[in-house]
Structure formats: structure tokens, C-alpha cells
Structure 1
């Protein structure tokens, strides 16, 4: 396909091409893609969001005086989030493009709020979202990673407190952590941060809109919001369990003074005075309007019903996974995320008699997407499920296919990486990786140099699992560079 056709195509022809391209994607409805997408299962909700998106997409959030509708909608959305998360009349917030931007801004505001600290640091549990490491990288803040409990995967309050020093400008906890779906002990961590005069951010990007409803349904949700003394900011994504179109998140601060550090102004040039509340300058009003419309349409009782369905689906899947021989759910999840691993086949081996990466391939062949997660410290290789309301009613079909996928993986046997390839990986330096070495790894992984993906990913994932995390990052970034090339 050329960059531009010489003559414009008919609108229907363009849409037909788009539909053809989308046909290769995993489905975004029906609950069969258990990562990346959030499906309420409610008829008409997507159409409402897209209609609102279209109405406001030409409006520019750069200047609220020119587009006061966006100002009103943003204040409404922030108020809804603050009300759900224990905010007060002093609570303020900003609507962002997604959870990563919200986390970036939380770190930036904390850094700017302590310009007296020459070498600022942020204290993170090892399970904190990678967005905080990205923020540290971008903003020149040192990330201090603290090990979590090796069994529960929750942050260790004593270890977190011990890591706080005169350089700390922010302490982070998760509600819940993405990898295992557990809520950190926010109260104890916030108390330790407050005792040292340090800000405390709760990353509730994935749980902030569902945990309050789960609590109302009787779930034992640990305290995590602004009702906890010492919590100074919270991030919550609306394109997750508020089921709004992507991408909309909210970063809340307990009071306006805490928020000021992520605002930006520039008047020292001949153009307009640029004022930004977030990292973006120009930003379409579409995502904000879509979120505003969906929140108002679903309403409080609607979200309670969606949370009830999600809770029931999560419980059914968790119980069913436990009944499949060779599988075990990791930790004790508090929310709607599940991670499961393989149990050892016997005391003599200490290893499962099947490969989880093969299970993921087998599930994809059966029309399901489950997300592989590599081993990290005490967390073994596992498969991750993001459960949504759309999974209610489909639990038996999923579990039947999962049991079949495990049987197929057991029959196929473990995925073996050649010893010489493992040795070659061990000798590589990610900082000096050459093009020739990268091409050799691609060949060893069965990947084409043109960036084409193989049908089955288990051999690739097994090879990546043998690589240290830093080398895995470098290899995957190089491969990403192959994917994003015109003509690919």
C-alpha cells in the first residue's frame, strides 16, 4: 500500500479497508481478550461513547476559555472520581490520556514540590507499575525498588518505611498491583510517608473504579483511598472499569497546592502564553466527552451491577482454575485480576510437566487471549487474566478450553531452548548489542528479520525468559523498531 493514493478513495472503500485490517486483531468484545481491553457487555455503551467522542473531538482542551464545555465536563469527571475515592471539598484533579500519564504527572508534581532535594527519589514496591520507572527515567528521579512479600506479593510496610530517606519525594503503593491483583497495605505505608513529610501516591489506575463497588458488595477491600490519612494523590483510569473509550484517566490530588507542580506555563516567546495542566498541549475533547457521557449514562447503580457481574466472573474463574490439575492462582487477589502458574509435576522435578507459554498459544488457537508474564523474583512465569463484566456467563467455556489447553501443552512437552543459545544469550551485553548479534537472536527465536510474528509464541517467550530483564528489554525494543517501519 502506498502512503497516499493518487486520488482520494470513496469513504466506504476506506472503511472497508479498515475493517479488513481490524479482522486480524483479537476481539474487543465478548470477553475473549483478557488483557488490554475492558468490555462491559452492555449494549449501546460503545455507541454512546463514540457519538459523544465525535461531537467533541474537534474541540481543543488546550484553552478552556475557548471551549468551556470541556472545562465543565472535566470538572464533572474529576468530581465523580473524587466522590468515589474518598475525596473532600479540597480535592482537585486533572483528566489525562491514560494511566501512564497520570503516574508520570504524580512523580513530576512530587519532584517539583521538593526542588530543595538535589537528588530526588521515589520509593516503589517491586510490583509497582513500570510507568513509575518510566517517570523516574524521564524526570531524573531515582527509583528505589523495595522487595515485596514473596508469598502474598504485597508491599512490605516496614521495608518501605526503611527505604524512605532525605532524598525521597514520593512513596507509591498499588490498589491493586497489576501483576497479581493484590492491594498493598496503603494505611501503614501512608503513615510511614506522612511521618517523614513525604507525599504518598496510590496507583489505583486499574482498581480505583471497581474496588469501591466491590466493597459495597461485601468484599473485604483494604482501605486505599483519600480516607486513609497520608494519601496525597490517586490515579484512576476510566477506560478500565468505568468502561469508557480509550484513553481517559484521572489524577487526583488531596488539595490544589499538591497539583501545581505538574502544571506548565511559558510566556517567554512571541506566541500565545502556553498553559498546560498535563503533558499534552493540544488534546482532543473526544476522549473526555466520551467518558463524561458514559459515566452519566451508566450511573452509580449501573456500576454496582457491573461490579457484581465482574466479581462473580472472577470468583468462578478463580475457583475453576484451582480445579484444573497443575494450575495454581498466585497470591490472594483482592480485585478482578488473576495470575496463575503451573504446579510442579512431583517432588522429584520441582517443575510443571507442561509449558505455560504453550498454554497461552493453545488458548489463542481456541479464540482466547491470556497474557504471559515472565518470572520476576519470587513470582514465577504465569498467565494473567483481566476479568471484566463481559466474562460473566462465559466462565465455563473459558475453563473448558483452559483445561484442554493444559492437556495439549502437557502432551507437547516443555519448550526447549538449545543450550548453546542459552550460553550465547548469557554472553551478550545489552548496552553493546550489535546488529549482527540481534539478528542472530531473531533467528534463534524463529523471528523473521522483517518483523513478522510467528503463529506460535511459546518458543519466542521461552527464549526471552532465558534472557536477563535488561537484555530482554533491549531485544524487544530492537524488535519493536522493526515492526514500526513504513511498508511493514
Structure 2
């Protein structure tokens, strides 16, 4: 018997070796359709945080056709597929327009960009570009490199530091506002600092760091400022247009030198694309790779990836051109309306507390009971949130599926029931089931627990990449 832990092992044949004879195409497609339909049911109800930013099957079908026309194309071969240059150039131009690159041009810079494989890819390339540009122009590096970021900034910055030998200096955020202060960031800067980081907004709380203050600090220190708009980049600009209380965070802010913004989130493209935008071309070009003495010929690439599918460029371009500003603005209106209503549902319970002043993405905790009691009760009703720690909190990224009729009302009703359940479990002294998985480890046990947690995380990654078990 095949282990039931291996996905779909009891439903479909398991491939432990490459089959000698292939299966009919229609049989394979039928299997794929069935799995997709089973998995769609998880998020189509609108009870999943983030993940499916569009949730519109007609839109996905449109993107799939665009992708399919170019999926087989390798964009390294621009002589064979000049369309890739059109798609990529126009994606970058539209993203620069959204981030007010005209303000950068007015100060004598040449704004440019690149398309990457996702938010992590954009962040990695930004740190690499800052490192290499600092080496080329400032002689930084003999004492090491460092970037300074708020604790709430994405772990991809820490991954970049790990990969590229850049020290990552993490600054605590204000526990009330959940944003960093320029004064706190200034205390971590030294002669080897190559860039600061701010988020618009940060993933944990959906709050926006004081980008104007950080920009002024970056100019004063003569270093870069990366604004991580991976999550908010394709919705916050339209929130501004709709009158939401959103401060400027883009190239209109002096001192902002790079911005990451994910097209595969609120840009409603297919997974696997993001944009990285530069105030000045010289910073982008500093991380270009070229090898001139290989027997296979001269090799060069704009980023870490070599081969890329033209399908992702075509689908991203198609999404942006199809929706236009009016389409994005209308979706943003619906999402902000839903998010505001969900936040009001949280505020209606004095036992709960919103973290900071969030936007379309928000988190809430409790000072009365372990918030994971609420998490468990909501999960039993089909909700899939992200659990947070330090402090324990529940995270919700509002997307288009939450704008469906009845979803916000269901959230409010289920939350009321969950709060009542949480109070009862707290009074009975019960421990929340999910707290042991997602919750904060007591500070006194952090050093002791860290190796154990890392091992558990490694086991989870092993399981996700596990081979089919033997029969």
C-alpha cells in the first residue's frame, strides 16, 4: 500500500520511475482537471488569506491562452522571439509609470527595471545590485557589506544576505504603530551600509513604513533605499487614487532608489513574475553577468536566471494591458471596501486588537486570551489564515475572492462565534491547538528551541519534496 501521506496516492497511479510507455493525453488532462477542481474548492469560498489574488477563472483562462502561445519560448533567444523584448519592455514601462518614474527623470536619472521570477527574486536582485554597485563606485567591501531593515521586512532580505555575503542588520519596529522609525534605522548605519529597506506595506501587518523619513535618511547618508512593494505595489497606488490614507512611497519620494512590486499578486498575472524598478540605470546594470571566454560563446544575462519562459512575460503583459488603470482601480475599490468591513468586524470586539493602522492587509491579536483559540475556531469553519508570532496574531490579506457576496458577512459572523469560543477555552485553561505550531516561543527558551524548530522546518521541506514511498 502507498502511504496516504503522499498526495493523491489513493486516487491515481503513482510514478516511481519513468514509465516505459506513455499515457494518452486526454487521460492525463482529465486527471489534471480533477485535481485542479478539488483544490479550487479550498479557496473559491473566499475564506483563504492571500494566495489567489484574482480568483477569476475567466481571467485565468485568458492568461493561460496568452501563456500557452509563448510557454515554449526561451527569452534568452531574442533574435527568435523579439516579442519578448516588447512584452518585457512594456511591463517595465507600465510599472515605472505606476511608481511615478517621471519624478526620477526630472532629477537627472534614467529609471529602468527588470522582470524577475517573484518577490524573492526582486529582493535578491536588489541586494545584489546594491552590493555590486557599492563595490564599483564606493570601494565598500573590505569590512563587509550590510543592509539595514525593519524586523517586519520580508525574510527574502535575510536570504539575500545569506547568499551574497551581506550582513543584514534588523531594527525593531514600534509595537504600537508596527512601523520602523528613521531614528532607529540611523543607529544601525555605518560606513559599510549599502542600503536601507522600508516596506509599503509590510507583510505581517499591512502597515507602511515612513518612506519619506527613510528617504531623507538615505540621502543624508549617501546610500540607497529599497521600498519593498511586493505586496502593495499594484494596489496601493490605486488606493491613493480612491482617497485611501496612503502616503507616497514611490519615486516621488526623494531618496527612494529601488522598488519591488509583484505582478503575480495584485497585478493579477500568473505566478512567477515580479518587477524590480531602479531610479538609476547604473545600479541595475552593476549586477549584469557576462562571461566572454567560454568555449560555447559569449554568455550574458540580466539577472541570476538563464532560461526563462516567454509565456510568463506574455501573460503578465496581457493582464496589465487588459485591465488598465480603470480595471485595477475598480478591483482596488472592491478590495479596500471588503478589507475595511472586515477590520470593522475585528474592532467590534473589545477582546481583539488590530495591529497598527493597516491597509488592505491586516493582522489582529488579543490582550485577553491566546488569539490562536480564535484561529482554531475559524479554521474549523473553513477559514485559512496565516499565523504570526511576537506577538501571536492572525493575518489576513484581502483579495478579490473576499469581495464575493456574503464573504465579509460570513467573516463577521464566524468571528463573533470564534471570540465566544476563545473566551470559554481561556476560562477553562485550555491551550490553543495551533499555538504550538505557529505561536511565539517564550523568550527564555528561544536559544534552546531554535535548533529544534529549524529541524522541524527542514522536515517539512523534505516532505514537500519527498519521493513516492515504496509499495
TM score, norm. by length of structure 1: 0.84
**CA RMSD of the aligned region, Å?**
2.1
Q: Which residue of 2 aligns with 1:470?
A: 450
Q: How has the CA–CA distance of structure 1 residues 73 and 321 changed in structure 2, closer, same or farther, with 3 Å as cutoff? A: same
Moved more, 269-278 or 461-470: 461-470
Q: Which residue of 1 aligns with 2:285?
A: 260
1:181 aligns with 2:206: yes
User: Could you tell me how far 1:17 is from its partner in structure 2?
Assistant: 2.9
Deviations 1:96-117 (A, max 9, x none): 0100000000000000011121
Mapped contact 2:50–2:399 kept (Cα < 8 A): no
User: Could you tell me how far 1:137 is from its partner in structure 2?
Assistant: 0.5
State the alpha-carbon separation in 2 of the partners of residues 241 and 46 from structure 1: 14
1:80 aligns with 2:94: yes
Alignment of 1:163-312 (within 5 A): 163-312=188-337
Q: Which residue of 2 aligns with 1:372?
A: 387
User: Could you tell me how far 1:462 is from its partner in structure 2?
Assistant: 5.2
Q: Which residue of 2 aligns with 1:337?
A: 361
State the aligned residue count: 435
Instruction: Name the structure, 1 or 2, with higher relative contact order (CA <8 Å, separation 6+).
Output: 2
User: Could you tell me how far 1:182 is from its partner in structure 2?
Assistant: 0.8
Q: Secondary structure at the match of 2:195?
A: strand
Counterpart pick for 1:382 among 365, 375, 393: 393
Q: Which residue of 1 aligns with 2:462?
A: 481
User: Could you tell me how far 1:479 is from its partner in structure 2?
Assistant: 3.1
State the alpha-carbon separation in 1 of the partners of residues 303 and 121 from structure 2: 8
State the alpha-carbon separation in 1 of the partners of residues 425 and 264 from structure 2: 38
Q: How has the CA–CA distance of structure 1 residues 24 and 312 changed in structure 2, closer, same or farther, with 3 Å as cutoff? A: closer
User: Could you tell me how far 1:470 is from its partner in structure 2?
Assistant: 3.4
Mapped contact 2:133–2:287 kept (Cα < 8 A): no
Q: How has the CA–CA distance of structure 1 residues 114 and 155 changed in structure 2, closer, same or farther, with 3 Å as cutoff? A: same
User: Could you tell me how far 1:58 is from its partner in structure 2?
Assistant: 0.8
State the alpha-carbon separation in 2 of the partners of residues 356 and 15 from structure 1: 43
State the alpha-carbon separation in 2 of the partners of residues 415 and 479 from structure 1: 27
State the alpha-carbon separation in 2 of the partners of residues 196 and 343 from structure 1: 40
State the alpha-carbon separation in 1 of the partners of residues 177 and 277 from structure 2: 28
Deviations 1:226-262 (A, max 9, x none): 0111111100001111111111100000121110122
Q: Which residue of 2 aligns with 1:15?
A: 29
State the alpha-carbon separation in 2 of the partners of residues 340 and 404 from structure 1: 16
Q: Which residue of 1 aligns with 2:124?
A: 104
> Unpaired runs of 5+ in structure 1?
345-351, 418-455
Q: How has the CA–CA distance of structure 1 residues 457 and 165 changed in structure 2, closer, same or farther, with 3 Å as cutoff? A: same
> Unpaired runs of 5+ in structure 2?
1-13
User: Could you tell me how far 1:463 is from its partner in structure 2?
Assistant: 8.7
Q: Which residue of 1 aligns with 2:140?
A: 117
User: Could you tell me how far 1:357 is from its partner in structure 2?
Assistant: 2.8
Mapped contact 2:388–2:439 kept (Cα < 8 A): no
Deviations 1:4-32 (A, max 9, x none): 33422222322333345442576343422
Mapped contact 2:173–2:180 kept (Cα < 8 A): yes
Q: How has the CA–CA distance of structure 1 residues 265 and 229 changed in structure 2, closer, same or farther, with 3 Å as cutoff? A: same
User: Could you tell me how far 1:280 is from its partner in structure 2?
Assistant: 0.8
Q: Secondary structure at the match of 2:170?
A: strand
Deviations 1:166-211 (A, max 9, x none): 0001111100111111111111111111112111111011111111
User: Could you tell me how far 1:458 is from its partner in structure 2?
Assistant: 4.9
1:406 aligns with 2:383: no
